[in-house]
Structure 1
Amino acid sequence: MRPAEVIAQAGTLLLDFDGPVCAVFAGFPASVVAEQLRQVLAEGGHANLPGSVATSADPFDVLHYAATVGSDEARYVEVAFAAHEVEAIPSAMPTEGAHGLIRTWHASGRKIAIVSNNSTSAINAYLDLYDIRAAIDVVSGRTGPDTALLKPNPHLLVQAINDLDVTPNECVFIGDSLSDVEAAEAAGVRSIGFANKVGKSALLAEADAVTSTMAGLVANS
């Protein structure tokens, strides 16, 4: 199915944040954040990390590992992670066409939500920075250290759907990762994969549609 067809059938738009809306760590590399989170663990006596965690450039890998170590470690790492996400927002790069899609969708009277594993504090900071908060009805993001609630778990999507007071079959979720597609399927929501990098189209093949641009969706909204 073409993205235009999926969009046309939807009454409610759910958007992942990092990717479809902006590149959160465009100016504050995720690898730097991951290293700083490893330092938090080291200061708590956990310097000897598994190889994959010790070398990962993804802060979420460190957060997930911290959750296996203990509740205190998970809480400390998550708080530090959220602070770094907020710090990264001023240098985040808006995705071409994303703000236009958000404003166009909102102007049509249809509901729209941000659904993301990123912290709500970072998402809200971005919405304020670009003055698009009024166009977003609901923000469903990370609010604590419980990584079991993050995508691919459908929890955040279900939370957004409930807060919007809509049904899953009237929603479409745009995300740029396999976990987004899996979460959408688990929540009973149609999905559009945002293939913003080479090779992602194959990764997102299980989505109802795949697009390489957010800008191309604006005319079809």
Structure 2
Amino acid sequence: MGRARYVLFDFDGPICRLFAGHKAERVAADLVDWLAGQGLRGLLSATERASLDPHVVLRAVDRGHPGSDLVAELEERLTQEESRAAASARPTAWADPLIRTWSAVGVRLAVTTNNSPRVVREYLEGRGLTDCFAPHVYGRTRELRLLKPDPHCLIRALNAMGAAPSAALMIGDTPSDLLAARKAGVPFLGYARNDHKRQVLSEAGADLVVDSLEGVLRLVGTTNR
């Protein structure tokens, strides 16, 4: 962390709990119901229909109909749901001061996420954090095959900032974040808000996982005195 001159944040988890009030489980179920209403329930397996993750539903449809109007409609519906969720998102403890401190000492920041970049910008604007990241927000595009664990959004961020992977750090909370960082050659810091997430990250091979960003903030402050 002391060597990092560029920090890539995942959004939902390290920066905020996007679905704290507007549950992801309900969003996934609504997407499944919408597909059923279009007579397209058969596009999903039983496991995918029961998924609690809206991205599982979106990816499943994209695998069968990549680049289709159907996928575009489903992705827009998910973006709208994420936008509703952003209004009740819960900031991750210590994330705001950590972001501001890193920005103040000259570390360049980016968001690299599978969420809609439009929604990320809405959230950052509401928290007064836009200037800490702008213009480096890299999120979901219509090319869903490029979602993490593909490193596409990380590579976009690195290229845009002129950053060597070894000079960067990614903070994420899922195995897909870890895999994307590895593929991009970026050191990884895991954030886990509970024991289950810590176990999942550790089992995926994360070398360092923290359960609070407070220690990271303290280290950044000490390193840059």
Task: State the TM-score, normalizing by the size of structure 1.
Answer: 0.93
Q: Does the aligned pair in 2 maintain the 1:30–1:58 contact within 8 Å?
A: yes
Q: Does the aligned pair in 1 maintain the 2:97–2:217 contact within 8 Å?
A: yes
Deviations 1:196-221 (A, max 9, x none): 12133332232342111112211111
Amino acid at match of 1:171: A
Amino acid at match of 1:34: A
User: Unmatched 5+ residue regions in structure 2?
Assistant: 221-225
Deviations 1:3-52 (A, max 9, x none): xxxx1121111100000000000000001111121133223321233111
Aligned to 1:10: 4
Secondary structure in 2 matching 1:174: strand
Aligned-residue identity in percent: 37
Deviations 1:109-164 (A, max 9, x none): 110001100000110110011111011141011132x2210000000100011111
State how 1:1-221 maps to structure 2 within 5 Å: 7-48=1-42, 49-70=44-65, 71-137=68-134, 138-144=136-142, 146-205=143-202, 206-221=205-220
User: Unmatched 5+ residue regions in structure 1?
Assistant: 1-6
Q: What is the deviation of 1:74? A: 1.4
Secondary structure in 1 matching 2:110: strand
Number of aligned positions between the proteins: 214
User: After the TM superposition, which segments of 4 or more aligned residues of structure 1 sit over 6 Å from their partners?
Assistant: none
Q: Does the aligned pair in 1 maintain the 2:4–2:107 contact within 8 Å?
A: no
CA distance, structure 1, for counterparts of residue 201 and residue 48 of structure 2: 25
Secondary structure in 1 matching 2:114: strand
Higher strand share: 1
Aligned to 2:223: none
CA distance, structure 1, for counterparts of residue 162 and residue 116 of structure 2: 22
For the aligned residue pairs, the C-alpha RMSD in angstroms reads: 1.2
